[in-house]
Amino acid sequence: MNRIFPLLSLLLLYGRGYSQIRKITIDGTRIAVQTAGLETRKEGRPVVVFESGFGTPMGHWDTILDAVGKLAPVVAYDRPGIGDSEPDRQLPTVKNVADKLRKILEALQVKPPYVLVGHSLGGAYVRGFAVYYPQELAGLVIIDPADFTETYERIGQYMLDAGMNKAHVDSAIAQRRRDLFRPDPKMAPSLQEELQVLFDLRRSEFAEFRDKPLPGIPVALLTGGRYDAFPNARPIDEALFRSKMKFRVERWVQFVNTVPKGRFFTEPTQATLCIGMTPTW
């Protein structure tokens, strides 16, 4: 447990190493996995498992995986249809992804406990794993997640805070509630499926997680909190982003503070600023 804080430091470093990439078969589907340090794992020692963001191959973790592997055994993988993994016929719901990950770890003969590290959509997936299989976890590291604390009311809150008038906000929220998922024919099927899952989670206001307590394990949530202007961005876009982040940070701090060993970290500028919510892990 007390190794999770050093893990957060390594998440900011570059590493070289000796990880192994191979494919295994799960329910008839070839899944690409990357591991390091499993051979020397001691019984009961937590394994760090990486869950990538929306449509992102496990290579996203390459710059840190081997460095983290010097601290603890690690596993990364490509979800079905992403990267070098074959597609399957399952919609990547939170429960399906959690169950698939457990089958992958079982095939690798990697027993609990696990420290799950999730980025973006992967952050929502690891939060969901904690709902369904809390007893298998030793910790969570959640990085700039798809905001599983978001509701329509809270979206309206940051729109009003950014200066939009109430009538416009009410109309925009009403339209969001009516919107249906529209597949993009230019997008790969597996990406469309992940996008649909995220759409459905937001549509339900993350009911799958709402009011579900975290297990009593160390939990860290990290966010960059920096606005990167995009082409044709308007002043209101930056105002909305900053308002959204202000309210998100408040909620995320409350989220990690629901467990004794919760911490929140933010990097609002190029300099790293870490805000520890509890004195020790």
State the residue for tokens 């649909």.
196
pLDDT value of residue 74: 97
With a cut of 60, say whether residue 19 has pLDDT above it.
Answer: yes
Higher pLDDT, residue 124 or 226 = 124
With a cut of 50, say whether residue 234 has pLDDT above it.
Answer: yes
pLDDT value of residue 229: 73
pLDDT value of residue 225: 78
Residues in the chain: 281
Q: How confident is the model at residue 276 (pLDDT cuts 50, 70, 90)?
A: very low
With a cut of 50, say whether residue 16 has pLDDT above it.
Answer: no
3-state secondary structure 106-123: HHCCCCCCEEEEEECHHH
Written out in words, the top-level CATH class of the domain with range 4-148+213-275 is alpha beta
Q: Alpha-carbon distance 126 to 253, whole Å?
A: 18
Q: How confident is the model at residue 38 (pLDDT cuts 50, 70, 90)?
A: very high
With a cut of 90, say whether residue 278 has pLDDT above it.
Answer: no
Q: Alpha-carbon distance 171 to 97, whole Å?
A: 35
With a cut of 90, say whether residue 246 has pLDDT above it.
Answer: yes
- From residue 181, alpha-carbon distances to 139, 169, 196, 201 in Å are 33, 21, 7, 12
pLDDT above 90 coverage of the chain, percent: 76
With a cut of 60, say whether residue 145 has pLDDT above it.
Answer: yes
pLDDT value of residue 49: 98
With a cut of 80, say whether residue 281 has pLDDT above it.
Answer: no
Going across the sheet that includes 74-77, the strands are 20-26, 29-36, 74-77, 47-51, 114-119, 137-143, 219-223, 262-266, 273-275
